[in-house]
């Protein structure tokens, strides 16, 4: 089922992209030889007028083959015989339709799950946010003067501007008024390396971090807390209340635990940690909105994912990320499969929303990637068309063809490397 969903996602992304080229080509009076979804041998095809419509075996790709697109033609409806602005519109339409598709998917997600305003839903005690008097319900509007529209914009900002120890100017809205505070991101915390659920169940550890103080003390997942510093605790709620009333300050904790029905004692000494953090959460917040809010949110979603794609490209160029961090079709199918499997227990609606969110990212990514000024891509073709529009005559077809051929060969080499990385990551 997951593989089928992945193929459907790819199919719609390709269909949208090629449909953009196709519709604008028809509008400009350019003849389309074949409109195909997929690559390789044809599964089925049908000739309608001058155009053959095909479905092919390999789902990763497609084409809109136009008369006179890559070679001279005497046909009056050839691509190269149309005005340069008509050709620019045809080439740009593919990526633009990907952005449009991402927008339409975003409308569906927001209509169902709500928009993602940068509204604070949790303030951590003892951190800079609390000291700056930020409160739940405050809406962040800017970080260091950079406008914030979505909750996830905050994370994206710090991906581009890592915290360097300096105070952060946070602008927020409360009660219809806007305020700006200086937030000190420094914090000192004490790490134990354990997690538990603060419920009415017995206080058992759900996670023990490797090489943490808890792990070094011999604590294991499933160990149940009977007493902490001599105080009996019967539930996860009681353990949480004790820790809230007795903040961790680095002093050793005397724990009486139970494992397999047998009690035993351990001493856990928390580890001091210093770092930088905002001390509030706003990225994951969603709330229902009206029709105008859905439309506005759709635009903000596409803008966010386009910015995210450019940030990823910047990280590749600056060396913050490498080719090994890139994923091709195989890696994306694996990601979709993982997403579906992890969401399945939450119900079909959550599977749908998570897949749609991935499709929004992929569609925006495809639009950005195809607009890059790389030979053989739409962006590379647009560069030559813009040069033609500026100088009043086209670049030599032979020279342009050579550039696109070299660019295509390099892209294929990159795809081989990415494919190898995908396979190594999955089976390694």
- DSSP reduced 3-state for 27: helix
CA distance 349 to 146: 35
136 labelled catalytic: no
How many CA atoms are closer than 13 Å to the CA of 418, on its beta-carbon side?
Answer: 16
Residue 387: half-sphere exposure toward Cβ, Cα within 13 Å: 11
Closest CA to 27 of 72, 98, 90, 91: 90
Torsion sign across C-alpha atoms 399, 411, 36, 378: negative
Which of 18, 256, 301, 400 is flagged as catalytic? 18
* Cα distances (angstroms) measured from residue 77 to each of 32, 33, 235, 241: 9, 11, 77, 76
Q: Directed axis angle between helix 397-427 and helix 378-391, to 10°?
A: 160
Measured CA to CA, the distance from residue 418 to residue 414 in angstroms comes to 6
Burial status of residue 411 (CB atoms within 10 A of its CB: 0-12, 13-18, 19 or more):
middle
Query: What's the gap between Cα 14 and its chain centre?
Result: 19
| DSSP output for 71-94 | S----TT-GGGS-HHHHHHHHHHH
Provide the terminal-to-terminal Cα distance of the chain, rounded to the nearest Å.
24
**171: three-class secondary structure by DSSP:** strand
Q: List residues with catalytic annotation.
A: 18
């Amino acid at each position: 089922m997951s593989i089928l969903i992945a193929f459907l996602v790819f199919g719609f992304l390709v269909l949208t992209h090629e449909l953009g080229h196709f519709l604008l080509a028809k509008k400009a009076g350019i003849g389309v030889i074949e409109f195909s979804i997929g690559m390789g041998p044809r599964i089925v095809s049908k000739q309608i007028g001058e155009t053959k419509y095909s479905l092919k075996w390999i789902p990763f790709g497609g084409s809109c083959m136009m008369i006179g697109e890559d070679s001279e033609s005497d046909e009056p409806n050839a691509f190269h015989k149309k005005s340069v602005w008509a050709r620019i519109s045809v080439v740009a339409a593919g990526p633009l339709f990907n952005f449009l598709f991402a927008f339409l998917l975003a409308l569906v997600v927001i209509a169902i799950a709500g928009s993602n305003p940068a509204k604070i839903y949790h303030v951590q005690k003892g951190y800079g946010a609390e000291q700056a008097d930020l409160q739940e319900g405050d809406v962040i509007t800017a970080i260091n003067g950079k406008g914030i529209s979505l909750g996830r914009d905050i994370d994206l900002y710090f991906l581009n501007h890592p915290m360097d120890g300096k105070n952060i100017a946070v602008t927020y809205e409360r009660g219809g008024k806007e305020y700006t505070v200086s937030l000190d991101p420094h914090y000192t915390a004490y790490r134990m390396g354990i997690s538990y659920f603060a419920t009415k169940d017995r206080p058992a550890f759900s996670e023990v971090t490797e090489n943490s103080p808890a792990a070094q003390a011999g604590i294991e997942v499933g160990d149940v807390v009977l007493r902490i510093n001599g105080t009996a605790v019967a539930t996860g709620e009681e353990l949480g209340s004790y820790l809230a009333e007795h903040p961790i300050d680095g002093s050793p904790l005397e724990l009486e635990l139970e494992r397999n029905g047998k009690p035993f004692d351990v001493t856990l000494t928390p580890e001091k940690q210093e770092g930088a953090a905002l001390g509030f959460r706003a990225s994951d917040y969603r709330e229902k909105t009206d029709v105008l809010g859905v439309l506005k949110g759709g635009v903000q979603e596409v803008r966010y994912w386009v910015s995210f794609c450019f940030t990823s490209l910047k990280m590749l160029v600056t060396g913050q990320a490498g080719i090994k961090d890139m994923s091709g079709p195989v890696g994306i199918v694996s990601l979709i499969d993982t997403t579906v499997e992890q969401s399945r227990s939450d119900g079909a609606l959550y599977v749908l929303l998570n897949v749609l969110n991935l499709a929004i990212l992929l569609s925006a990514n495809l639009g950005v990637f195809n607009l890059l000024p790389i030979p053989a891509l739409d962006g590379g073709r647009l560069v030559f068309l813009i040069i033609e529009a500026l100088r009043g005559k086209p670049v030599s077809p032979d020279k342009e063809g050579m550039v696109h051929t070299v660019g295509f060969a390099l892209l294929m080499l990159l795809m081989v490397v990415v494919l190898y990385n995908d396979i190594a990551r999955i089976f390694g």
